[in-house]
């Protein structure tokens, strides 16, 4: 397994290009299964989660053609086949193929998915949505089996909470259902809006994406389509956090300020300066960081996928910061490793009290999941001496060439192949 070796103390400078959003790309690849006509996706990030999702749809007979920055998905030869469990177990987003296969064939059998070990993250909401639309669902031997031989029928779907995955499953299923589907308490994330825009390009009739109420008129008359994905707001927030913790100034090319309002509010509260540029956003780090309290919330609140990164920043702030995690359980697995670097953190339930301002010192650490991995990278930027990060395959799931991008910004970082 590869390692990352970081020598801390360097400030960041220059510009970094923000890749396409992984969490937008995955449902759009799944959405291609809905239609017998081709879908071209541009701005897919080069990360292992996207590669695994492409392998999954290829197993079902999708012909994947890459041409520069475009990926063409031809589903004209689609068939129901069994996907190798070793591929599915690596990512929870594999559940997103369930609704499209059900729409296309009236039947689907999909393995219970894997992904980050950050709590339960149940798929129950996906299954309840499909049941409400008329599917018969059972779980047999680790597989979800869904049947809707008579087709799906539109319904009023009231989600228990604004779940991104459940909203995306409902959107895709409703495009193939008869009549109107109404989603109440829908997730508002930019990735949900981007999926809706992709489906609209494919012929779907959708209104209200980005609000808590979405209407879908089905069934859809599909057409060949092309869609350009949004930039990754989590990657942008991660590089902004890198500037905050290490200092310097960095332009985030392609980043969208409107997707990062809650993140910018926290950054500015810590003393970081943020302003728009012709190509994206510019981040300038302060000489001294101010502590701040953070609570993760559904969009447009502060994203849970940036909680670990901002905990690393809080370790450098002069004073105490309180971080509350309200989205996922057990998402503080990076804390023991941060403590190995000298962080002073106390956990109480879903809250972390970070007593900042104490020097971090390089040490060997172990990544436990995607966001914890990058949290340790950021801490390594500010630590004295050498930090060695193990299990960096987690990073490759969601960050496009992170070590190379940081190196071009002035960070002393090296990938070591084992």
d(CA 242, CA 215): 40
Q: Are 240 and 214 in contact (CB under 8 A)?
A: no
| Bridge partners of residue 355, in order along the sequence | 320
What is the SS3 assignment for 347? strand
CB atoms within 10 A of CB 40: 18
Euclidean distance between CA atoms 388 and 366, whole angstroms: 8
- State the Cα–Cα distance between residues 377 and 360, nearest whole angstrom: 12
Q: Which two tokens stand for residue 309?
A: 């990164």
The one catalytic residue in 116, 198, 375, 409 is 116
Using DSSP's 3-state secondary structure scheme, residue 226 falls into strand
User: Is 375 a known active-site residue?
Assistant: no
Where on the phi/psi map is residue 377: left (φ > 0), alpha (ψ -120 to 50), or beta? alpha
CA-nearest of 161, 167, 405 to 301 is 161
CA angle (293 as vertex; 287, 296 as ends), nearest 5 = 120
Active site residues: 116
């Amino acid at each position: 397994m590869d390692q990352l070796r970081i020598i801390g103390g360097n400030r960041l400078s220059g510009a970094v290009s923000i890749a396409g959003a992984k969490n937008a790309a995955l449902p759009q690849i799944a959405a291609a299964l809905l239609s017998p006509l081709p879908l071209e996706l541009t701005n897919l990030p080069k990360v292992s989660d996207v590669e695994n999702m492409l392998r999954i749809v290829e197993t079902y007979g999708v012909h994947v053609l890459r041409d520069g920055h475009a990926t063409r998905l031809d589903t004209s030869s689609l068939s129901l086949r069994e996907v190798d469990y070793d591929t599915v177990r690596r990512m929870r987003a594999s559940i997103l193929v369930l609704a499209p296969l059900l729409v296309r064939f009236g039947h689907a059998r999909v393995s219970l998915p894997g992904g980050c070990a950050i709590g339960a993250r149940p798929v129950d909401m996906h299954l309840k949505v499909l049941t409400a639309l008329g599917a018969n669902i059972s779980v047999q031997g680790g597989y979800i089996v869904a049947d809707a031989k008579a087709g799906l029928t539109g319904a009023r779907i009231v989600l228990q909470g604004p779940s991104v995955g459940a909203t995306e499953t409902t959107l895709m299923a409703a495009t193939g259902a008869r009549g109107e589907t109404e989603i109440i308490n829908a997730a508002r994330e930019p990735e949900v809006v981007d999926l809706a825009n992709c489906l609209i390009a494919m012929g779907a009739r959708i209104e209200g994406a980005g609000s808590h109420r979405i209407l879908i008129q089905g069934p859809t008359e599909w057409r060949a389509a092309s869609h350009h994905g949004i930039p990754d707001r989590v990657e942008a927030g991660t590089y902004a956090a890198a500037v905050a913790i290490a200092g310097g100034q960095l332009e985030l090319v392609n980043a969208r300020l409107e997707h990062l309002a809650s993140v910018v509010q926290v950054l500015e509260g810590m003393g970081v300066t943020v302003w728009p540029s012709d190509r994206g956003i510019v981040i300038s780090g302060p000489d001294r960081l101010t502590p701040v309290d953070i609570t993760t919330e559904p969009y447009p609140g502060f994203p849970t996928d940036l909680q670990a990164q901002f905990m690393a920043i809080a370790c450098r702030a002069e004073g105490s910061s309180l971080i509350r995690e309200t989205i996922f359980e057990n998402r503080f697995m990076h804390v023991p490793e941060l403590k190995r670097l000298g962080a002073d953190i106390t956990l109480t339930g879903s809250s972390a009290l970070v007593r900042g301002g104490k020097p971090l010192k390089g040490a060997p650490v172990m990544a436990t999941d995607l966001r914890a991995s990058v949290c340790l990278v950021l801490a390594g930027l500010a630590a004295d001496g050498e930090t060695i990060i193990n299990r960096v395959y987690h990073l490759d799931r969601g960050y496009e060439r992170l070590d190379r991008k940081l190196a071009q910004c002035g960070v002393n970082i090296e990938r070591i192949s084992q």
